[in-house]
Amino acid sequence: MGEIEIRDIVESDYEEWLRLFELYLVFYEKSLPTEIKEATFKRALDPSVDMWSSLAIHPETKKPIGLVNYLRHMSTWSVTDQLYLNDLYVEEGQRLKHVGRNLIEYVYAKGDAMGAPNVYWCTDMTNHRAQLLYTKVGWYSGKVIYKRPPGSY
C-alpha cells in the first residue's frame, strides 16, 4: 500500500462516513438512531463546534477505509484544552497496515496545532487488538471508568 492520506471530512463524505461509523457500531454490537448519526456528522463539520472527524483514504481506490472522531474540552488541571478521541475504526480488510496508527497520530498533530496536545481515549479491557496499537502510540494511564448507571436518568 502506498501513502495513506488522512484528512478532515467534507460534506460530500456523509455516505462513506456513515458506512464506516455503522461498521464501528456493529463492532460494538450497538445501533444509533439516524438523527444522532446525522447530528454527529453535522457537528463534526460545524466550525463553531469543537468536534471533528477525519478519514483515512486508500491510496489507490481513494475510498475512505478508516475513521476517527474526536472532541475538545477544558480541564481543571491545565489551562490548555484536551482532546478526547471518541471513536476509531479501520475497515477489516485494511487492518495491520498502520491505518489506525496514522489516524491517532493525525489527531496528535491536530491537537498540537490547536494548542490542545493532551489527547486521551479509552477502550474495553478485552479489546486486545486495539491495545496492541495503543501500547505503541499511547501511555497506559491505569484509570478505570465509572458511569452513572444506565436507566437511572
Ligand X SMILES: CC(C)(COP(=O)(O)OP(=O)(O)OC[C@H]1O[C@@H](n2cnc3c(N)ncnc32)[C@H](O)[C@@H]1OP(=O)(O)O)[C@@H](O)C(=O)NCCC(=O)NCCS
Residues 101, 102, 105, 110, Cα dihedral to 10°: -150
Give 14 or 121: the residue with its C-beta nearer to ligand X: 121
Per CB under 6 A, the list member of 5, 18, 98, 138 interacting with ligand X is 98
Per CB under 6 A, the list member of 21, 100, 107, 119 interacting with ligand X is 100
Classified as helix, coil or strand, 73 is: strand
Question: Site mask, ligand X, residues 120-149, x = CB under 6 A?
Answer: ---x---x-xx-xx--x-------------
CB of 27 vs ligand X, minimal distance in Å = 5
C-alpha span between 35 and 23 (Å, rounded): 17
User: Contact between 19 and ligand X (CB under 6 A)?
Assistant: no
Closest CA to 14 of 71, 55, 61, 58: 55
Classified as helix, coil or strand, 120 is: strand
Q: Which stretch binds ligand X (CB under 6 A): 13-21, 42-50, 72-80, 96-104?
A: 96-104
